[in-house]
Amino acid sequence: MQDTSTTTDPYLWLEEVEGEKTLDWVKAQNKITLDKYQEQDLFRQIEKQSLEILDSKEKLAYPQFVGEHVYNFWRDEKYVRGLLRRMLLADYLNGSKEWEQVLDLDQLAEDEDENWVYKGQQLFSPENERTLIWLSRGGSDACVIREFDLPTKQFVEGGFEVPEAKSDIAWKDRDHLYVGTKFDDDSVTDSGYPRVIKLWKRGTSLEEATHVFEVGKEDLAASAWVSHRDDAHHEFLSRTIDFWNEENFYLQGDKKTKLPLPTDAPLRGLFQGYLFTTPRTDWEGYAAGSLLAIKLEPLLEGQLEIEQLYDSKDGGTIESVSCLKSYLVVAVTENVQTGLHRFELGSDGRWNSSPIEVTEGGATSPAATSSWRDDFFLTHESFLTPTTLYHHDGKSTLKSVQSLPTRFNSEGLVVEQLWATSADGTKVPYYILRPEKLPETGDSPTILYGYGGFEVSLLPRYLSLPGRNWLEKGGIYVSANIRGGGEFGPSWHQAALRDKRPRAFEDFEAVAKDLVERGFTKPANLAVHGGSNGGLLTGAVLTRNPQLFGAVLIGVPLLDMRRFHKLLAGASWMAEYGDPDNPDDWAYLQKFSPYHQVKEEAEYPPVLLYTSTKDDRVHPGHARKMVAKMKSFGHTVDYYENIEGGHAGVSNNKQQAFLTALIYSYLWDKLAH
């Protein structure tokens, strides 16, 4: 199929990310939008309130285990870019506030004249002396990686340092790294991720690293994974074919043994000689999405010895698997609520399971685990219950460590799980957060939020910013668990895959209609909001059924389904959406591509699109071109592009507060009639 998009698209020039003409256009659009809202009292109030929450000292200091210490990355009004800090675990559990400073990102950025954004650290255990610090310029996915010595709190002179790229790193041992990065133009896939893995020895240049493994340009990525445990050391290589398929290899010296597993059975961990997987389709008599334990040694000889730990027929989906020293902690979502389960291997060789009791309802998640210890941290929260951080001693004692303060007044608010009926008869759940007493007029300002893709589950999380800026002021907030997500296992996701993507849109529209039919709101008072794939969702329903909504928010979106695979990481999503260069795929893609479906003669509600120049995952050109096209047709569109911020749209608390103020002042302006 010939690609005519480069000759027929009049706004192709807006894909030049940082071109002078493009950025002049961006700044002009920003000014138009901000002139409307930035000076409003409501905008300033929301920005101030949001920044108070984001910069508050009363927030959870999430821990990371590092030997006998816990580390924490902290942002507030003093440490805008953030501070990496530590204290002894015993002191942390006793409520100490005396942190030891490790790395000041604001000072580092000033000293090096770089716009550094902290992206995490990658520790070498169990030594716990050396770590790799990931630093992004402006918040993009591409990072510079630099070795850091924790005892001296200094970057290692002459240590490992990887130039800016989308890289994959794994510690083999203290003096060797498996590295996948942009060695040259041929070493990355079409999606921009590593396709070549090399072994890099300390004291040598990156160019001298030894070739270990490579995959095809059309594949998504190559990666290495090393399991450092006290019971054994194991090394793996992975060929990620696409988002939903992978091949894994066991590495022993120069010998690579391909694991005889289905490509849609992702590895979830390694523990006491067992590999864990959750196949996405039925396999060997086990239902898709079940948690399976497979003995590694027989597997390397081509033999399958499988034990089922969790049967997805029970109605749940596996959110995470954490391999501790002596047992597993598994997060399972059932009916859009998440709990934790403990699995351990008995002396008889059988797996035993038991629930880890916290609080019923809401979402319980592991917050910090280590393969070298049995105690761990977890959190519990719900829509109206602030997050609490707990420490579990690995036996039976659960201790509350810290809780978020109440961020908004929830008195008189109720949470309900309701079900809408989609176009094909499927029952679709959604959560509604609303005042117990509603106006009889049935026109409450309402936000309907959704995602519907990539097996992502929307769980009951505490809504600090929406609570303060929307719910507390009388608005209704709705979270829709539409198909395409992972709330009910692989089948729920696959029901909206590729040519079935419109099922997600129909589900979302069904929830919107259900809200009106139940008398909660009216179309003129209903807004939809989504980001990334959720931006595709809200862009699609805008062009499909604009009469259902009073406002549409489209964040860091995917909108041009003809060229998405040619922009940044877009090629990696073809397994989710399809290949626009395949005529059969384009035949259905063009029917829901928002950029192609927007019409001059249509009547659309007001639209706000926002994105980030530094988003190197979803290209800002999607949002830019949609705005330019809609404005050329005379439609009401506002646009804001943060010049930095990455795919999150922001890179610090001030930017987050600013964007929050724009979103909610916009919504109150459009919906509070």
Residue numbers annotated as active site: 532, 647
Q: How far apart are CA 149 and CA 288, in angstroms?
A: 44
Q: How far apart are CA 518 and CA 562, in angstroms?
A: 38
Q: What is the DSSP string of 380-447?
A: EE-SSS--EEEEE-SSS-EEEEEEPPP-S--TTEEEEEEEEE-TTS-EEEEEEEEESS--TT----EE
In terms of residues, how long is the chain?
673
Q: Which backbone phi and psi does 136 adopt, to 5 degrees?
A: -110, 140
Strands (E), 525-636: 526-531, 551-555, 607-612
Q: How far apart are CA 227 and CA 414, in angstroms?
A: 45
Interior CA angle at 268 toward 263 and 274, to 5°? 100
Q: Would you tell me the crossing angle of helices 502-517 and 583-592 to the nearest 10 degrees?
A: 20
| 485 DSSP 8-state letter | B
Residues 6+ apart with CB under 8 A from 1: 581, 582, 583, 586
Element (H, E) at 623: helix 621-632
| β partners of residue 447 | 477, 527
At residue 664, the 3 state secondary structure works out as helix
**Whether the Cβ atoms of residue 638 and residue 608 lie closer than 8 Å to each other:** yes
**Beta strands 210-214 and 221-228, pairing class:** unpaired
Structure tokens of 605?
């509600």
| β partners of residue 543 | none
Q: How far apart are CA 342 and CA 48, in angstroms?
A: 43
**Beta strands 176-180 and 196-201, pairing class:** antiparallel
**Beta strands 526-531 and 551-555, pairing class:** parallel
Structure tokens of 511?
């929830």
Alpha helices (H) along 181-337: 296-300
